[in-house]
A and B are shown apart, each in its own frame.
Chain A
Amino acid sequence: MSLTTEHARPSYDPVSLSPLSFWAKSPAEREEDYAVLRRERPVSWHPPAEGSMMPPQEGGGFWAVTRHADIAAVSKDPETFCSGEGIQMEDVPLDILEAVSSFLATDAPRHTKLRKLVSSAFTPKRVKKIEDQIKDQARRLVDHLVETGDCDFVEHVSRRLPQWTIFEMVGVEDQETREIATHAADGMVSWADEDVRAGREPAELLTESLMQLINVALDLAEARRAEPRDDLMTNLVQAEVDGESLTDEEIAAFFCLLSIAGNDTTRNTISSTMRQLTLNPDQRAYLVEDYDARIGTAIDEFVRWATPVMTFRRTATRDTELQGQRIREGDWVVLFYASGNADTEVFDEPGRFDLSRTPNPHIGFGGGGPHYCMGNQLAKAQLRAIFHELLTRAPDIEADEPVYLAGNFMQAIKSMPCRLNLG
Chain B
Amino acid sequence: MACIKVDYDKCTGLGICESLAPEFFEVSDDGNLTLLEEEAGPDALDDVREAVAGCPTEALSLKE
Residues of A near any B CB (own CB < 8 A): 76, 112, 115-116, 119-120, 122-126, 365-366, 368-370, 372, 374, 376-377
Q: Which residues of B have CB within 8 Å of A115?
A: 12
- Distance of A365 Cα from B27 Cα, bound (Å): 20
A376 adjacent to B16 (CB under 8 Å): yes
B contact patch SS: loop
Interface size class on chain B is: 10 to 19
B29 adjacent to A120 (CB under 8 Å): yes
B14 adjacent to A76 (CB under 8 Å): no
B57 adjacent to A124 (CB under 8 Å): no
Shortest CB distance B55–A (Å): 8
Shortest CB distance A422–B (Å): 36
- Distance of A120 Cα from B22 Cα, bound (Å): 17
Residues of B near any A CB (own CB < 8 A): 10, 12-16, 18-19, 22, 27, 29-31, 56-58
A372 adjacent to B31 (CB under 8 Å): no
Shortest CB distance B17–A (Å): 9
A contact patch SS: helix
5 A–B contacts, CB within 8 A, in A order: A119-B14, A122-B14, A124-B18, A374-B14, A377-B19
A119 adjacent to B12 (CB under 8 Å): yes
Q: Of the candidates B10, B13, B16, B19, which one forms a contact with A119 in the assembled complex, judged by CB atoms under 8 Å apart?
A: B13
B18 adjacent to A120 (CB under 8 Å): no
Known A-B contacts A76-B58, A369-B57, A370-B57; the reply to A125 vs B14 at CB < 8 A is no
- Distance of A365 Cα from B12 Cα, bound (Å): 14
B12 adjacent to A124 (CB under 8 Å): no
Known A-B contacts A120-B13, A123-B14, A377-B14; the reply to A369 vs B56 at CB < 8 A is yes
How many A-B pairs have beta carbons closer than 8 Å: the answer is 56
Shortest CB distance A371–B (Å): 9
Known A-B contacts A369-B57, A370-B57, A376-B14; the reply to A124 vs B19 at CB < 8 A is yes
B58 adjacent to A368 (CB under 8 Å): yes
Shortest CB distance B12–A (Å): 6
- Distance of A198 Cα from B46 Cα, bound (Å): 55
- Distance of A373 Cα from B56 Cα, bound (Å): 9
- Distance of A329 Cα from B19 Cα, bound (Å): 39
Known A-B contacts A368-B56, A368-B58, A369-B57; the reply to A123 vs B12 at CB < 8 A is no
- Distance of A208 Cα from B30 Cα, bound (Å): 36
Q: Of the candidates A123, A370, A374, which one forms a contact with B18 in the assembled complex, judged by CB atoms under 8 Å apart?
A: A123
- Which residue of chain B has the shortest Cβ distance to A122 in the bound complex? B14
Known A-B contacts A123-B18, A124-B19, A377-B19; the reply to A370 vs B27 at CB < 8 A is no
Q: Which residues of B have CB within 8 Å of A366?
A: 56
Q: Which residues of B have CB within 8 Å of A125?
A: 15, 18, 27, 29
Q: Which residues of A have CB within 8 Å of B29?
A: 120, 123, 125-126
Shortest CB distance A394–B (Å): 29
- Distance of A92 Cα from B14 Cα, bound (Å): 29
- Distance of A62 Cα from B57 Cα, bound (Å): 25
Q: Which residues of B have CB within 8 Å of A368?
A: 56-58
- Which residue of chain A has the shortest Cβ distance to B56 in the bound complex? A372
- Distance of A276 Cα from B55 Cα, bound (Å): 29
Q: Of the candidates B10, B30, B56, which one forms a contact with A120 in the assembled complex, judged by CB atoms under 8 Å apart?
A: B30
Shortest CB distance B25–A (Å): 9
- Which residue of chain A has the shortest Cβ distance to B20 in the bound complex? A124
- Distance of A189 Cα from B56 Cα, bound (Å): 26
- Which of A76, A122, A125, A369 is most buried by chain B, counting CB atoms within 10 A of its CB? A125
Other A-B contacts than A119-B14, A120-B31, A125-B29, 15 sampled, CB-CB below 8 A, are: A116-B31, A120-B13, A120-B27, A120-B30, A122-B14, A124-B27, A125-B18, A365-B56, A368-B56, A368-B57, A369-B57, A370-B12, A372-B12, A376-B14, A377-B14
Q: Of the candidates A76, A119, A369, which one forms a contact with B31 in the assembled complex, judged by CB atoms under 8 Å apart?
A: A119
A123 adjacent to B31 (CB under 8 Å): yes
- Distance of A124 Cα from B31 Cα, bound (Å): 11
Shortest CB distance A269–B (Å): 18
- Distance of A112 Cα from B10 Cα, bound (Å): 9
Q: Which residues of B have CB within 8 Å of A369?
A: 56-58
- Which residue of chain A has the shortest Cβ distance to B13 in the bound complex? A119
Shortest CB distance A215–B (Å): 29
